[in-house]
Structure 1
Amino acid sequence: MTSTDRRREFGAYLAGLRRHSGRSQRQFAAALCAVSGAQSITRNEVSRWERGERIPDVWLPAFAQVLGVPLHELEQAAAYARGDAQATLPGVAATLADLLPDGEELKPLTAPRGRRIGATTVDGLAARVHGLRLADDVLSGGDLIAPAFRELRAAVRLYRESEHSDETGRGLLVQIGELGQIAGWIASDAGRGEDAERAYRLGISAARQAGDAVLVAQLAGSLGYHMTNSGREREGLKLAQAAVAVSGPDAPAATRALFLDRVAWAHTRAGEPQPAMRALGAAHAALDATDGPPSPSWAYWVNREELEVMDARVLTELRRPLRAVPLLQDVLGRYNATHAREVALYRSWLAVALADANEPEQAAEEARRVIEASGDLSSERTAERARTVLHRLKEYEDVPEAREVLADHGHLLLA
């Protein structure tokens, strides 16, 4: 892990503490000034700390007082940001290395010593897993990473250390697979790429042992999507295509559509427009199918609206704004406003598409919305998209609206 990654994780940790205190960045800066007697702490300074640009060593006692957090925990977190190999971020699951020895398959201990469990325990775990999914609709990765990885560790230990029937064991493996997927997604959103990959790979192992091909495909596709967005487009494309193959032509309609959408995005990022457009068409055709098996609960969010968002993202990436802009405007007009991260992400694509359409004034307006929303989200996805939008606006520095946004928020490009 690079020093930049550590500082960004530290910044996300500080941002999470601040949000849990119920303060905006401006309110937090004012509170720090009040307890320290200084007048030099501004919202922009808080923003720099939360992006990991600076480590606020001298202000840590004031942080502790305002946030009600033990000073030694903040000092430990700062040491982690500076690269201390012995330090960790308090309250955050750093890795999955403690779950299983290197290279060992997920399996029960040869001599279980725990209590015997049954279907009721599996049902309770399934309810908590679904609760995490629903929480992810309205919260960001930095807010959920600790509970997600705590649940994943507990589920693995329950499977390995309890006594259970083969049927119950399979049920536990399915839930570990689903937990691996949502934990991986949350870790990726929090900017913790290595943890995301570990979670996905653990989930794949569990889903394979459970014999759940569609869940294996969901995890492989999720890992491929993460790779596609991390500069490994060819690896991501191979995994996305493997997910379609593993799930087969008779997979539930929503899941097949989701897997094909990921193929479309991977082709797009790999610079292959025609295969991307074909995959989009296949995704829509798959969703129209009515004769397949019912969709699993984890695919509840896959619908026509989400496919249209991916259409627009692909069209934006391929520099076809005349088709992308109306799609995004229509979807955003109907989208659930409580899903703040997704709204910010979709607005970021709209901002870029508007810039491509030579509408810099409207692009600047959307960019400001994206940037202001991302400041209140513990999501590396939205932070990265805000930077992307700002880069695009730099081509219109001679337009007053764009120049004003860059003057107010151009420092984000230094992160």
Structure 2
Amino acid sequence: MPRPEHHPHDSASRRRAGPGSLGTLLTELRLARGWSQLRVAEQLCAASGVPTVSRHEVSRWERQQRVPGKFWLNWLAAVLEVPVEELAVAAAASRPTTAGGGEGRDGGNPGVVRARQELLTSAHAWLTDPDGPVGPTITIPVEPIRATSVEPTGVVSVEPIRAVSGGPAWMDSGRSGRAGEQAPELPLDAAGVAGVRRLDDLVGGEDLLSSPAGRLTLTTARCATGRPGRQALPLVAEAAQLVGWLHTDAGKVGAALRAYRLALAAAAGAGDRSLGAHILGSASHLLSAFGDARGGLLLARTGYLGARRTAPAGLRALLLHRIAFGAARCGRHRPAYAALRAAERAAGRREPPREPAWLYWLDEGEFAAMTGRCLASLRRPLRAEPLLRAALTRPGQPRTAAVYGAWLARAYLDLGEWERAAEVADGALLDTVRSGSARAAAELAGVGRRLAAYRTEPAGRRHAALAAAARRYLPAAPPAALAG
């Protein structure tokens, strides 16, 4: 399969996406070529005639422990086939700011910026060193907890958890259990995690996180068995991935990024490359949806490159869709279309019975809706409209209807059909209230700003009035942009 993500002539669209960190940009350019850090160092030495750059120096640049000077920026531009001005802008953005210099485009939240960078660093480590550590130390439960199942109906069966004097049920200190100690059971078993995952189809992230089922999922995500009981790590990774997804839907970006990093560490410890790639794909969707398209594209590419040889066809198709969406949000049309074509080919080779249970939701209708969203982002509204319209006919999933309804309204606005756009946005607004999804609210906020131009028309006035009445019931949307 050709690499859909390698298009060296898309530097103009990278500039349109805004300046980001040099480390992220260098990693992105290197991965797009399938190069190792050693290969970059060798190319730099050969091109410059100065044999002093090692793999470790390239690693320091990518991790932003150092920022290369003008000499090496020029040679990096030549080797990576990118305008030196682009690298210079990214380098300037990566150097420490002076006092009072501002926080960047993340809404003034340094915790989110740090969590984003830590996840990108962990993703890079996961790709380049499959057997090495990629994230924070996994904690260990210190008290017996009965395995619990959660039914898709929302009924949670929990046996009382015994209190332990001197500490909570799990510890954040990173201490491992004593050698030979029998690891306790996790709060949720595999059926319980699967039940919460299906509840997520019906309930918004904020509500589910505060429910008994959500609290059990949180506790499971923050537990691991260390050296004994390594077989529990895949379940911990699944729970942490689900927690990241719920935090994403609740608009808690920093918490979602930290959960995804924990999930990646657990999946790496279990040796499950497919699950690790899926976790990076989920985090990619978070960044792409909330304003960091470049970071989302980088994570999607990393997940795809790290698992494309072993992942089932459905997961490859999903990761290629994540690449397409990130590329579309960056304005990179050619790699977006190439990824969509590759995703369609991979989807045609699916064997659902052999795929992981956590991909149950990825059916033909969802593929079509995701394709419609990418086409809408690429400003191809005629092609996007029927795919997105079909997504709204799926019953019982208000968040899905709200998110894809917002994209359908965008498509109608691009077609000049603002009356239909307002009608669809009205329905999406009500579905956002029903679902309580901050992610849906963020998608709809952009539509509302575009519809504001039609407030003098009946349909525009109606939507403005409905939005004003619904505002008190809507979750707060996170900032439109997170990072460069």
Distance 1:224 1:343 in 2: 21
Over aligned residues, Cα RMSD in angstroms?
A: 2.9
8 Å CA contact retained: 2:188, 2:220? no
2:465 aligned residue (404, 407, 411):
407
Counterparts of 1:275 and 1:258, CA distance in 2: 15
Write the distance in 1 (CA, Å) between the matches of 2:447 and 2:352.
40
CA distance in 2, matches of 1:259, 1:99: 34
Work out whether residues 188 and 217 of structure 2, in 8 Å CA contact, stay in contact via their aligned partners in 1. Answer: no
Structure 1: state its 5+ residue gaps.
Answer: 6-97
How much identity, in percent, do the aligned residues show?
35
Please give the alpha-carbon distance, in whole angstroms, between the structure 1 residues aligned to 2:411 and 2:267.
Answer: 39
State the match for 1:159 in structure 2: 225
Pairing 1:87-126 to 2, within 5 Å after superposition: 99-101=171-173, 108-111=176-179, 125-126=189-190
Q: Which residue of 2 aligns with 1:375?
A: 433
Q: Which runs of 5+ in 2 are unaligned?
A: 1-102, 110-169, 478-484
What letter is aligned with 1:172? A
Does structure 2 conserve the Cα–Cα contact (< 8 Å) formed by 1:237 and 1:267? yes
Q: CA deviation at 1:154?
A: 4.0
Instruction: Find the partner of 1:362 among 420, 428, 431.
Output: 420
Q: Which residue of 2 aligns with 1:148?
A: 214
Bigger relative contact order, structure 1 or 2 (CA pairs below 8 A, ≥6 apart): 2
Match of 2:52 in 1: none
CA shift for structure 1 position 410: 4.8
Closer, same or farther: CA 410–356 of 1 in aligned 2, 3 Å: farther
Q: Hey, which of these two has a bigger chunk of helix by percent?
A: 1
Q: Which residue of 2 aligns with 1:388?
A: 446
Q: Does the 8 Å CA contact 2:385/2:411 hold for their aligned counterparts?
A: yes
* Cα offset, 1:313, TM superposition: 0.8
Distance 1:215 1:99 in 2: 25
Q: Any conservation in 1 of the 2:328–2:336 contact (CA below 8 Å)? A: yes
Query: Runs in 1 of length 4+ with deviation above 4 angstroms?
Result: 1-5, 121-124, 290-293, 410-415
Quote the Cα distance in structure 1 between the aligned partners of 2:224 and 2:382: 53
Aligned residue number for residue 273 of structure 1: 333
Matched, 1:264 2:324: yes
Shift of 1:375: 2.0
**How big is the shift at 1:364?**
1.1
Relative to the length of structure 2, the TM-score reads 0.58
Give 2:284's aligned residue: 224
Residue of structure 2 equivalent to 1:134: 198
Q: Among residues 336, 340, 343, which one is paired with 2:398 in the alignment?
A: 340
Give how far 1:200 is off.
0.5
| 2:302 equivalent to 1:242 | yes
Specify the code of the residue in structure 1 equivalent to 2:178: T
**How many corresponding residue pairs?**
307
Amino acid across the alignment from 1:259: L
- Partner Cα distance (2:201, 2:449) in 1: 28
Output one character per residue of 1:115-153: Cα deviation in whole Å (capped at 9) or x when no partner.
555xxx579611111011000011110111134354332
| Alpha-carbon displacement from aligned partner over 1:222-264 (angstroms, at most 9, x marks no partner) | 1122122232222221110010011123411111111111011
Q: Which moved more, 1:319-328 or 1:286-295?
A: 286-295
TM-score by length of 1: 0.67
Structure 1 SS opposite 2:379: coil
Q: What is the identity, as a one-letter code, of the residue corresponding to 1:159? A: T
